[in-house]
Structure 1
Amino acid sequence: MSAHVNTLLDRMAEALRRQPALQRGEPALVGIHTGGVWVAQRLQQRLGLETPLGQLDISFYRDDFSRIGVHPQVKPSSIPFGVEDRPIILVDDVLFTGRTIRAAMNEIFDYGRPASITLAVLVERAGRELPIQAQVVGEHLELAPEQRVKLRGPDPLHLEIVQLEGTR
């Protein structure tokens, strides 16, 4: 399925080039750890952007942080550019409930007030719990509630549909 992911990335890069907000100012990509960073790296290459890639680990911004505690693989966030008045392309691998994106936007605003945030996701599926919509989507998938999409990588990237344990 890695060829399929490359096709989706090409489609996303083309759609991003047409985004009006990105035609003003110098856009910067910010990927959400882990899969979103992998997708953002590929998009940055395709778009030829020279601004260093930003990376977010939204663990401390999650609305369920007090219930799940610190995950042992928490990585530091890195935004190696000024966010203030800059168009940001926020990238994730899968948009499902919208809670990860909400947490990522909260963290971005801790770095400054961007001119705009354009959300780009490799896969979008039904199940939104928050009113969040991506402007750029590689693919829309209809899945059963007990199914999840996993992006495996980093090289090559490939998508898998997995069944949650105990739901067969």
Structure 2
Amino acid sequence: MKQPNILVTGTPGVGKSYMCKRLAEQLGFKWQKVSDIVSEHGFVEEYDEEFECPVLDEDRLLDYLEPLMQEGGNVVEYHSSEFFPQRWFDVIYVLRCGTSLLYERLQARGYNERKVKSNMECEIFQIPLDEAKDSYRKEIIYELQSDKDSDLEDNLKQVCEWLESWRSAQEKKS
């Protein structure tokens, strides 16, 4: 049976990497860390000096990911979701974080004030959640809190329960 593809999205600093690392280890899925793929393969159109980050070449990235996504068994991590094809994902998890904690995490990363402010606004105005809701079926989107270690454990448990349910449904179909 082909494994599902999972998207983990959210504002930078909410814990996507940590969750994806644990999911990949626990489930045996392939971790597709989009930022690393972009850097490794040069899928960049330009560099944004203001926000100190590369501007993604979405077409080249999607062309690269397409055959991997067709195989299934991927956990994809990225702070944005709207440009990924709907057909790629069986479930989407949007991680959220309290703003005071998020501010501390972004400061610890050494982000400049403008970048911190922009990311804080993204979290406050729930941009990643709204992007997901505008781009995918509502019934496959789950919002998860990611403030404490216990939240991570609860979130991992929820994903594992979802996977069991998904596998059961697939078996009934075949």
Where on the TM-score scale, by shorter chain, does this alignment land: which range?
Answer: 0.3 to 0.5
Q: TM-score, normalised by structure 1?
A: 0.36
- Relative to its length, the structure with more helix (as a share) is 2
